[in-house]
Amino acid sequence: MKKCDFRQSGRDASGEEAQASKTQRPIVAVYPGSFDPVTLGHEDVVRRTLRFCDRLVVGVAETATQAKGSLFPVQERLEMMREVFAGESRVDCVSFSGLLVDFARDEGARFIIRGLRAVSDFDYEFQMAQMNRELWDEVETIFLTPEVHYSFLSATLVREVAALGGDVSTFVSPVVLERLQRHYS
């Protein structure tokens, strides 16, 4: 079988294409959520996003569409997020209030990243994606599925299990586990 040789087809990385990629706008995305607290499932979505995006702004929302009764204040969720992604130079963690589309626009991002775990997530995610597009028609929502091992994982369940004394060490990073243990000790 004939192999595709990009050099022969004029598409080698030192040619025009490389030049074009230097002048292209960086791909910036926002990953919004409540992150109360950040789980390994969220972390997985961030790392998957970094495969195709130059800069990712993780936005801890001060106003969530579905109020779930918060455990950690926004500032503490943000601190955990920053600790978890301290080694990722392409990830910025900030909090935001107001509309998600305004936050995305202010950050220079036209992509919203959301994790989709199961069909049960779909209605809510579909509604939000469509509403966000109504609010700003240049924005695209990209859904990523997490590692199958995390497909059942939610911050809500982590909070509940931790509150009842269960072991959540396989669901969150050590820095988050420490905060949960401190909270419930």
Residues that bind ligand PNS (CB under 6 A): 32-34, 61, 63-66, 99-100, 128, 131-132
Q: How far is the CB of 49 from ligand PNS (least distance, A)?
A: 15
Residue 37, CA distances (Å) to 42, 128, 174, 176 in order: 10, 21, 12, 7
Q: How far is the CB of 47 from ligand PNS (least distance, A)?
A: 18
Q: Which is nearer to ligand PNS, 57 or 61 (CB)?
A: 61
3-state secondary structure of 58: strand
Distance CA 69, CA 48 (A): 28
Q: Which is nearer to ligand PNS, 64 or 175 (CB)?
A: 64
Token pair for 131 = 């509403």
Judged by phi (left if over 0) then psi (alpha if -120 to 50, else beta), residue 165 lies in left
Q: Which is nearer to ligand PNS, 33 or 146 (CB)?
A: 33
Q: Which is nearer to ligand PNS, 3 or 69 (CB)?
A: 69
Q: How far is the CB of 175 from ligand PNS (least distance, A)?
A: 19
Q: How far is the CB of 88 from ligand PNS (least distance, A)?
A: 20
Q: How far is the CB of 83 from ligand PNS (least distance, A)?
A: 19
Question: What backbone phi and psi angles, to 5 degrees, belong to 136?
Answer: -150, 105
Distance CA 171, CA 177 (A): 9
Distance CA 140, CA 94 (A): 20
Closest of 64, 53, 60, 59 to residue 29, by C-alpha: 53
Token pair for 45 = 């979505």
Q: Which is nearer to ligand PNS, 63 or 169 (CB)?
A: 63
Q: Which is nearer to ligand PNS, 17 or 140 (CB)?
A: 140
Q: How far is the CB of 65 from ligand PNS (least distance, A)?
A: 3
